[in-house]
């Protein structure tokens, strides 16, 4: 009787372990990107010029493990990026310069910041740099700009294994010991904008400088 009961218990445990392994999630790693963001305002900051460059992958993934060389060597692509403009009542009127296939959505919410999202809903992805100009309503103030978003290591959103090879889905990605697998990474950068004078202002400054030089030369003469 005890032997039969023990056999039943062993069978239940084995079934539970097998089911658990079967239901285990695949070893999917998240990458990070060393991206750069530059922001320049004209005088009065009614035009905010932005450049976001999706940089190299960080040395380690979200688990702390080293990113394999073949994965780090892949070209990365921006899927969606949220730009936030912080300051005193900034209001975004329009955004221009988005690459072909990318759309822009503006959100002028709280008085302390405004935001817009640049995303590509179609495939294949085709950009890893964004050069944008946001037109702002007069009277606001811009103190800082941030960009955060999601990027993919394959233009068709495919999964890759540690060798960089595409892993077709379906069938589903296998659970450990299969993997690790890679697909996406995030980016997060924050900068304070610099102010760039208008061309007309630069011309006036140059003219004033030339006049001052002339006056000094005359005095010395």
Say if 16 falls within a structural domain. no
Tens digit of pLDDT for each residue in 208-221?
344 444 445 455 55
At 159-170, the pLDDT tens digits run 999 999 999 999
Q: What is the SS3 string spanning 152-202?
A: ECCCCCCEEECCCCEECCCCCCCCCCCCCEEEEEEEEEEECCEECCCHHHH
Q: Is the pLDDT of residue 201 over 90?
A: no
Q: Is residue 62 one of the residues assigned to a domain?
A: yes
- CATH number for the domain that contains residue 132: 2.60.40
Please, are residues 181 and 173 in contact by the beta-carbon 8 Å criterion? yes
- Rounded CA separation 101/117 (Å): 14
With 0-12 CB in 10 A as exposed, 13-18 as middle and 19+ as buried, what is 37? Answer: buried
Task: Give the model's pLDDT for residue 9.
Answer: 38
pLDDT tens digits along 86-145 = 999 999 999 999 999 999 999 998 889 999 999 999 999 999 999 999 999 999 899 999
Distance between start and end Cα atoms, the chain: 121
Q: For residue 210, is it within any domain?
A: no
From 54, 39, 55, select the one nearest 130 (Cα to Cα). 54
- Is the residue at 203 inside a domain? no
User: Which of 44, 91, 84 minimizes the C-alpha distance to 196?
Assistant: 44
Establish how many alpha carbons lie within 13 A of residue 92's alpha carbon, considering only the half-sphere containing its beta carbon: 27
Domain of 92? 27-198
Indicate whether 20 belongs to any domain.
no
Give the count of domains, the chain.
1
CA angle 173, 179, 185 (to 5 degrees): 85
Q: How far is CA 95 from CA 67, 108, 164, 212, in A?
A: 35, 13, 36, 40
**In-domain check, residue 206:** no
Rounded to two decimals, the pTM is: 0.79
Q: Kindly state whether residue 21 falls inside one of the protein's structural domains.
A: no
Question: What is the distance between the alpha carbons of residues 209 and 120, in angstroms, rounded to a whole number?
Answer: 47
> Is pLDDT above 50 for 36?
yes
Please name which of 116, 117, 136, 131 lies closest in space to residue 39, comparing C-alpha atoms.
131
């Amino acid at each position: 009787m005890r032997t039969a009961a023990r056999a039943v218990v062993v069978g239940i445990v084995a079934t539970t372990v097998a089911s658990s392994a079967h239901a285990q999630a695949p070893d999917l790693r998240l990458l990070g990107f060393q991206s750069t963001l530059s922001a320049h305002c004209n005088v009065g900051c009614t035009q905010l010029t932005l450049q976001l460059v999706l940089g190299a992958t960080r040395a380690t993934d979200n688990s702390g493990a080293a990113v394999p060389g073949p994965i780090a060597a892949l070209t990365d692509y921006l899927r969606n990026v949220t730009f936030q403009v912080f300051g005193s009542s900034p209001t975004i009127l329009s955004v221009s310069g988005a690459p072909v296939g990318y759309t822009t959505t503006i959100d002028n919410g709280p008085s302390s910041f405004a935001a817009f999202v640049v995303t590509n809903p179609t495939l294949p992805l085709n950009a890893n740099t964004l050069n944008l100009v946001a037109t702002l309503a007069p009277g606001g103030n811009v103190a800082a700009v941030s960009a955060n978003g999601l990027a993919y290591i394959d233009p068709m959103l495919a999964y890759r294994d540690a060798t960089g090879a595409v892993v077709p889905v379906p069938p589903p990605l296998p659970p450990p010991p299969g993997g690790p697998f890679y697909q996406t990474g995030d980016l997060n950068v924050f900068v304070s904008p610099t102010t760039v004078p208008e061309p007309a202002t630069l011309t006036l400054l140059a003219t004033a400088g030339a006049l001052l030089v002339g006056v000094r030369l005359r005095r010395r003469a």
